[in-house]
């Protein structure tokens, strides 16, 4: 059995799989560690691996291989990847973001290499892309992307059948591309003001709309689904921002299909998908004709299967 580790800005999930593509088993999930020392996240992951081994009746040392699908961005320190995610590391944007730490990065690869003989770490959107190409909605597509609309905004990209990674494994961080010139003064945890994530990410919606009576994405979407005109106008604007980001990916990479996942999108796909598809289709048919946006075929388990794809 192999450890499958999914690290997000909101939660960490750890499970076991045999690498065949079968669903992972003995899954445990916890809120992502954001307090204590910089190694809190790595210690949490290792503790959870031991716990799922105990659940399976396995000696921890018998699980010597791991696939890690982690939110990014990544930076290299001594040749090992560290996580510089703005929803985990409070030291990137500073106290204004309200995270209970001053971390700029957290170690990941170095402590895990001490535990596992074989280790593969990828950005979680890249891992989800690989899973969607193996078992989900992107099967048979050589020019495609996986995009998550969740706590943050991320993408995994594939062109000519090749997954794009970049110098530090950070290709696809479209959520940190600018969407406005500081509109609303909204600060992203990365320090940008007015990037896509600051405007539409799940953790941004509570900050943007609490004063309107919508304390989170679910409240806003429920109001829009019930026909509230103000809420519908806000949802249209969110889809305009994210839809233009999707169009930009299509224009830059000549994509044919984009699989969409993440809690914000999947829980409200009936409301969001037609608006996003219309935004993409509204621009330059020479590039967008026939481009399809589809829900992640692996649904809410795409993160788990992303980690499985890394050990398949």
In a domain, 132, yes or no: no
pLDDT in tens, the chain (312 residues): 999 999 999 999 999 999 888 899 999 999 999 999 999 999 999 999 999 999 999 999 999 999 999 999 999 999 999 999 999 999 998 888 889 999 999 999 999 999 999 999 999 999 999 999 999 999 999 999 999 999 899 999 999 999 999 999 999 999 999 988 766 678 888 889 999 999 999 989 988 898 888 988 999 999 999 999 999 999 999 999 999 999 999 999 999 999 999 999 999 999 999 999 999 999 999 999 999 999 999 999 999 999 999 998
pLDDT given at position 20: 86
Residues 144 and 97 in one domain: no
Residues 21 and 83 in one domain: yes
In a domain, 134, yes or no: no
Do 85 and 100 touch, CB atoms closer than 8 A? no
Residues 168 and 291 in one domain: yes
Residues 122 and 155 in one domain: no
pLDDT given at position 70: 97
Nearest to 195 by CA among 166, 235, 152, 231: 152
Residues 88 and 48 in one domain: yes
CA 218 to chain centroid, in Å, comes to 18
Residues 10 and 152 in one domain: no
Question: How many residues are listed for the chain in this entry?
Answer: 312
Residues 109 and 180 in one domain: no
pLDDT given at position 231: 96
In a domain, 75, yes or no: yes
CATH code of the domain covering residue 230: 3.30.420.40
Tell me the pairing of strands 25-31 and 292-295.
unpaired
Residues 50 and 96 in one domain: yes
pLDDT given at position 142: 98
Regarding pTM above 0.85, the answer is yes
Residues 115 and 154 in one domain: no
Residues 143 and 283 in one domain: yes
In a domain, 110, yes or no: yes
Structural domain of residue 191, as residue ranges?
Answer: 139-296
Residues 105 and 162 in one domain: no
In a domain, 131, yes or no: no
pLDDT given at position 183: 61
In a domain, 133, yes or no: no
Residues 78 and 151 in one domain: no
Q: Read out DSSP for the chain?
A: -EEEEEE-SSEEEEEEE-SSSPPPEEEEEEEPP-SSSTTHHHHHHHHHHHHHHHHHT--GGG--EEEEEE-S-EEEETTEEEE--TTT-TTTT-GGG--S---S-EE-HHHHHHH-SEEEEEEHHHHHHHHHHHHSTTTT-SSEEEEEESSSEEEEEEETTEE---TTS-TT-GGGSB-SSSGGGPBPTTS-BSBHHHHHSHHHHHHHHGGGT--SHHHHHHHHHTT-HHHHHHHHHHHHHHHHHHHHHHHHH--SEEEEESHHHHHTHHHHHHHHHHHHHTS-HHHHTT-EEEE-TTGGGHHHHHHHHTT-
List, in sequence order, every residue forming a beta bridge with 118; answer none if it has no partner: 65
Count up the domains in the chain and report the number.
2
């Amino acid at each position: 059995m192999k450890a499958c580790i999914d690290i997000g800005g909101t939660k960490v999930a750890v499970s076991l799989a045999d690498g065949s593509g079968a669903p992972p088993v003995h899954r445990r999930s916890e809120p992502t560690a954001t307090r204590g020392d910089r190694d809190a996240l790595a210690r949490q992951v290792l503790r959870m691996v031991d716990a799922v081994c105990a659940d399976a009746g396995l000696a921890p040392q018998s699980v010597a291989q791991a696939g890690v699908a982690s939110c990014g961005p990544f930076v290299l320190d001594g040749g090992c990847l560290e996580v510089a995610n703005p929803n985990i590391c409070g030291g990137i944007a500073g106290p204004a973001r309200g995270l209970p730490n001053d971390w700029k990065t957290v170690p990941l690869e170095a402590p895990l290499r001490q535990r596992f003989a074989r280790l593969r770490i990828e950005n979680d959107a890249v891992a989800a892309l690989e899973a969607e190409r193996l078992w989900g909605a992107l099967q048979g597509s050589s020019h495609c992307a996986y995009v998550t609309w969740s706590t943050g905004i991320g993408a995994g990209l594939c062109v000519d059948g090749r997954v794009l990674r970049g110098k530090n494994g950070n290709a696809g961080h479209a959520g940190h591309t600018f969407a406005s010139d500081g509109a609303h003064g909204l600060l992203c945890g990365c320090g940008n003001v007015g990037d896509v994530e600051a405007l539409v990410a799940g953790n941004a919606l509570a900050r943007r709309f609490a004063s309107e009576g919508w304390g989170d994405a679910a409240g806003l979407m429920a109001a829009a689904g019930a026909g509230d005109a103000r809420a519908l106008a806000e949802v249209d604007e969110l889809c305009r921002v994210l839809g233009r980001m999707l169009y930009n990916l299509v224009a830059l990479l000549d994509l044919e299909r984009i699989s969409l996942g993440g809690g914000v999108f999947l829980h409200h796909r009936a409301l969001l998908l037609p608006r996003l598809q219309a935004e993409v289709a509204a621009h330059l048919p020479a590039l967008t004709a026939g481009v399809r946006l589809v829900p992640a075929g692996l649904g809410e388990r795409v993160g788990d299967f992303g980690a499985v794809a890394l050990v398949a």
